[in-house]
Structure 1
Amino acid sequence: MALKATIYKADLTISDMDRGYYDSHSLTIAQHPSETIERMMLRIAVFALHAGEYMAFTRGISDDEEPDLWQKNFSDEIEQWIELGEPDEKRLRKACGRAGQVWLYNYGGRSADIWWEGMAGKVGRFEHLNIFSIATDTLAELAALCERSMQLNATVQDGVLWLSSEQGSVAVSPHRLYGSAER
């Protein structure tokens, strides 16, 4: 019998002073059986960094044709394609060909560093690509905020996300590896 996704609920209040975006989102997050709590919480943090009226979680891990998050316009064109992890060159090329902006959040410590060493020389030809690295310690801190039903507050200022709940507060400070676009 196949394992089923675990469902989490999050009421997320966002104050993004960098973009002037202030809103609340009621999120339902499906954690794939192969997905860690750290990765799932990173998806929520990245949602907060890029939140907009049409930002949405996708089938992600369950579907090779979709990123972890995306934002589409009324014409069903992908405005933002957001990936987590260490995609191969072919997947990045596909994303850059289909979306107006592509955002990649790399995580995982040493394996992420090795991935970047191999990819750094290959990404220069991809338009609209922005790559960030998330520290391993940050992932552990995000996991400590996780509950099946969460009340989260997100404040973004000067590129840093402060995500807090009754469990505590975490500063998520993505380190830019490549690209120059502003969120």
Structure 2
Amino acid sequence: MALRSSVVKVQLQLADLERHYYQDHSLTLAQHPSETAQRLMVRLLAFALNASEHLEFSSNLSDEGEPELSEKNLHGEILLWVAFGQPDEKWLRKACQRAQRVRLYAYGGRAVPIWLANHAKELKRFEQLEIFELPEDQLKALTELYQRSMRLQCTINEGQVWFTDGTQSVELSLVQHRLS
């Protein structure tokens, strides 16, 4: 018998001062049995950093042919494809062929610089690819906010991201990697 995904409910109050985007979002995230709380929180962070009226999570996490988080226009064209972790270069190539912009949120501690070094030559070709790394200590602090039902406030300003649940606060500063 297949294991079922868990449902995680998030009430996210977002204030992105850089993009002048202020919105409350009620999110229902499917957490696959193999997905860690850490990875789910990276997906939530990516949503906050890219939030828009048309940004949405995929309904099927196991479909490698589709983005887990994307923004599409009214014609169904992918404007933004968001990827996570340290994916295969072929998968990123496919994303770059299908989307106007691709953002990768890499995490995994000391493995990220090794992954980047091993794939830099191939990844330089993808002009629409942006790579952001979330430092391990900051991701650990963000993961401490994880619950099956969350009420979070997120503020983004001057390259800094703050999350709070009303009792704990976490400050994040992603590292953007330039491959040129």
The answer (yes or no) to whether the contact 2:123–2:179 under 8 Å persists in 1 is no
Write the letter of the residue equivalent to 1:36.
Answer: T
Per mean C-alpha deviation after superposition, the further-off stretch among 120-129 and 81-90 is 120-129
Distance 1:28 1:164 in 2: 19
- In the comparison of the two structures, how many residue pairs are matched? 180
Secondary structure in structure 2 of the residue aligned to 1:109: coil
Unaligned runs of 5+ in 1: none
Distance 2:60 2:175 in 1: 23
Question: Offset of 1:70 from its aligned partner?
Answer: 0.3
Closer/same/farther in 2, CA of residues 57 and 4 from structure 1, 3 Å limit: same
Closer/same/farther in 2, CA of residues 176 and 16 from structure 1, 3 Å limit: same
Residue 24 of structure 2 corresponds to which residue in structure 1?
24
The answer (yes or no) to whether the contact 2:120–2:179 under 8 Å persists in 1 is no
Write the letter of the residue equivalent to 1:131.
Answer: I
Residue 54 of structure 1 corresponds to which residue in structure 2?
54
Closer/same/farther in 2, CA of residues 57 and 23 from structure 1, 3 Å limit: same
Give CA-to-partner distance per residue, 1:13-44, whole Å, 9 cap, x none.
Answer: 11000001011110001111111101101111
Residue 70 of structure 1 corresponds to which residue in structure 2?
70
1:78-117 matches, within 5 Å, as: 78-117=78-117
1:80-159 matches, within 5 Å, as: 80-159=80-159
Distance 2:66 2:82 in 1: 9
Unaligned runs of 5+ in 2: none
Instruction: Give 4+ residue runs of structure 1 displaced > 3 Å after superposition.
Output: none
Give CA-to-partner distance per residue, 1:90-119, whole Å, 9 cap, x none.
Answer: 111111111111000110012222111101
Distance 2:127 2:88 in 1: 16
Write the letter of the residue equivalent to 1:80.
Answer: L
Per mean C-alpha deviation after superposition, the further-off stretch among 170-179 and 143-152 is 170-179
Distance 1:133 1:125 in 2: 19
Question: Offset of 1:179 from its aligned partner?
Answer: 6.5
Write the letter of the residue equivalent to 1:76.
Answer: G
Write the letter of the residue equivalent to 1:109.
Answer: G
Distance 2:102 2:38 in 1: 22
Write the letter of the residue equivalent to 1:71.
Answer: E
Residue 41 of structure 1 corresponds to which residue in structure 2?
41
Question: Offset of 1:68 from its aligned partner?
Answer: 2.2
Structural RMSD (CA): 1.4
Write the letter of the residue equivalent to 2:44.
Answer: I
Give the fraction of aligned pairs with identical amino acids, expressed as a percent. 46
